[in-house]
Amino acid sequence: MSDRVYIFDTTLRDGEQSPGCSMNLEEKLKMARKLDLLNVDIIEAGFPIASEGDFEAVRMVAAEVENCTIAGLARAHKLDIERAAEAVKGARKPRIHTFIATSDIHLEHKLRKSRAEVLKQSAEAVKIARDLCDDVEFSAEDATRSDIGYLVEVFEAAIEQGARTINIPDTVGYALPQEFGPFVNEIISRISNKEGVVFSCHCHNDLGLGVANSLAGVENGCRQVECTINGIGERAGNAALEEIVMALRTRKDRMPYHTEVVTEEIYPASRMLTNLTGAYVQANKAIVGKNAFAHEAGIHQDGMLKKAITYEIMTPQSVGIVSSTLVLGKHSGRHALHNKFEELGYALDKEELNRAYFFFTKLADQKKEVYDEDLIAIIQDGIKLIPDTWSLKYVHSAGGNQELSTAVVKLQRGEEIRTESAFGDGPVDACCKAIDALTGQSGRLLEYSVSSVSRGKDALGEAFVHVQFNDRTYTGKAASVDVIDASARAYLNAVNKAIHEQKRLKEEA
């Protein structure tokens, strides 16, 4: 049996289903390109039958991504499968991933079908998919709560019809590692026609055991692991890609398996996903959390100064985190800034560097020191995926605990400059209402958060918003040492996305 483990990334499908983590077409394409650089083996790009937008996103990812297999998800229905086939047909390496539930719980309460009916439907679905695509994966939803004898029967039928990847999901995160491993082992040992088949696991994190169960699956015969960047996904999320990959790399003494993932791209991919979705990573998150390679205790610091291995089992550089003592300030020039961005993994062209330098000099005038976290926020805030219809020229807001807050906002669109004032329940609410009046967009603020991305009282604040316009939700993000400025620009970022989408839909109509 091969010691290679294939990484099936479902950030763009299962991960995007996480509440508040939806991405538009441009954002999905940007994330897909980063996953390609990360060198995952398979990208599950979406669920094409779900909507026209999801179909188009899968189709575009399939057309643009060069190295990875591109999978489209489909229920075990003919229309789903045909839609998925159409979406992935432009990929260099297309895959159809079809699934159906097999647990008695799902059969009785959701599907309302017998075991015999689901067995027949499973085989028919794989046959339809195999006629349309050479690479077919079959998943038994809620496998860990299914009867093992019946599960083996369903898997054998799927393999007989041409499935070459068989996925064993812990859909609701119910299993424990000490039972999931033997469960996988018994399934594989009992399947009679497994020659040439890759077995996969897809473990959710409802009990915090997604990664542990995935590793147990690998140790018992799975050679594909389905996972997401930062572990995002339904409910408590999926097994985290970065934790699986680095566990296999770090503990080869106990798990002699390897992946082809370029681990130095892990942290940049994590940061990009956070930037696109506004889904923050907890500070103590393994591998990619802010504190993952931070040492504060005196004993730890002493050990680190003498030999890093005393308290670090992997280097920060191995996952793309660059440790540096270089401090940038307002006297630094473009050349120094360019070199620093290269160290952080960002290759900027002249226009991007000039834009980043503009934001950098503004920030350096307000801060004594500019840290790596500030620079990453600058580059992600300053370089846009879509053109700005409106830009913020001026904002002033006042509030307190006794009176209504007020805001004055000045926006520019081309040569036109407009100013508006508004009252609100707080300074941010007042700013949003003034922006609505100026742009003619009426947004409903669903989520709002501000967090510090660096150190000190003058730390850069990053604002994330989720705003609803006409039943569609858009994310907005901006960074500034002034939280009102960051909040207003984050809201305006969402407004610009809404306007861009409205124009695109109108042009396509």
What is residue 228's DSSP assignment? B
Categorize the per-residue pLDDT at 369 as very low, low, confident or very high, splitting at 50, 70 and 90. Answer: low
* pLDDT greater than 80 at residue 313: yes
287: in domain? no
Domain count, the chain: 4
- What lies within 8 Å, CB to CB, of 170 at 6+ separation is 143, 144, 180, 201, 202, 203, 204, 210, 213
| Mean pLDDT of the chain, nearest integer | 89
DSSP 310-338: GT-SS-GGGGTPPP----B-TT--HHHHH
State the helix-helix crossing angle for 334-343 and 372-382, rounded to 10 degrees: 100
Co-location of 333 and 376 in the same domain: yes
Relative to beta strand 69-75, strand 94-101 is parallel
pLDDT at 40 (0 to 100): 98
Name the least confident of 119-128, 375-384, 494-503.
375-384
pLDDT at 451 (0 to 100): 84
* pLDDT greater than 70 at residue 386: no
Relative to beta strand 472-480, strand 416-424 is unpaired
**What b/e sequence results for 232-260 when a residue is b if at least 16 CB atoms lie within 10 Å of its CB, and e otherwise?**
bbbeebbbbbbbbbbbbbeeeeebebebe
* pLDDT greater than 60 at residue 339: yes
- What lies within 8 Å, CB to CB, of 299 at 6+ separation is none
* pLDDT greater than 50 at residue 297: no
Instruction: Give the CATH number, domain containing residue 172.
Output: 3.20.20.70
Among residues 283, 373, 365, the alpha carbon closest in space to that of 323 is found at 373
Co-location of 23 and 96 in the same domain: yes
Co-location of 334 and 417 in the same domain: no
Co-location of 347 and 369 in the same domain: yes
Instruction: Give the CATH number, domain containing residue 421.
Output: 3.30.160.270
pTM for the full predicted model = 0.78
Categorize the per-residue pLDDT at 325 as very low, low, confident or very high, splitting at 50, 70 and 90. Answer: very low
pLDDT: which is higher, 457 or 50: 50
Structure tokens at 146: 């299914």
Categorize the per-residue pLDDT at 324 as very low, low, confident or very high, splitting at 50, 70 and 90. Answer: very low
pLDDT at 305 (0 to 100): 52
Co-location of 37 and 73 in the same domain: yes
344: in domain? yes
* pLDDT greater than 90 at residue 43: yes
**Rounded average pLDDT over 150-170:** 98
**Rounded average pLDDT over 237-247:** 98
Name the least confident of 165-179, 214-228, 349-363, 428-442.
349-363
pLDDT at 356 (0 to 100): 80
pLDDT: which is higher, 197 or 338: 197
- Residue 414, judged by CB atoms within 10 A of its CB (0-12, 13-18, 19+), counts as exposed
**Rounded average pLDDT over 328-337:** 67
* pLDDT greater than 80 at residue 224: yes
Pair 193, 228: CB distance under 8 Å? no
* pLDDT greater than 50 at residue 277: yes
Co-location of 312 and 375 in the same domain: no
* pLDDT greater than 80 at residue 434: yes
* φ, ψ for residue 221, nearest 5 deg: 120, -10
Which range of 143-152, 350-359, 365-374, 461-470 scores highest in mean pLDDT? It is 143-152
pLDDT at 228 (0 to 100): 98
Name the least confident of 23-27, 249-253, 359-363, 459-463.
359-363
Name the least confident of 16-30, 140-154, 318-332, 493-507.
318-332
Tokens 């794989």, residue located: 126
Among residues 62, 61, 71, 55, the alpha carbon closest in space to that of 29 is found at 61
* pLDDT greater than 70 at residue 371: no
Categorize the per-residue pLDDT at 99 as very low, low, confident or very high, splitting at 50, 70 and 90. Answer: very high
DSSP helix/strand/coil, 125: helix
pLDDT at 279 (0 to 100): 87
Distance of CA 198 to the CA centre of its chain: 25
147: in domain? yes
Pair 359, 444: CB distance under 8 Å? no
- CA of 507: how far to CAs of 14, 230, 387, 501, in Å? 30, 36, 16, 10
Co-location of 251 and 308 in the same domain: no
Domain that includes residue 308, residue range: 293-322
Which stretches within 5-44 are classed as H helix? Answer: 25-38
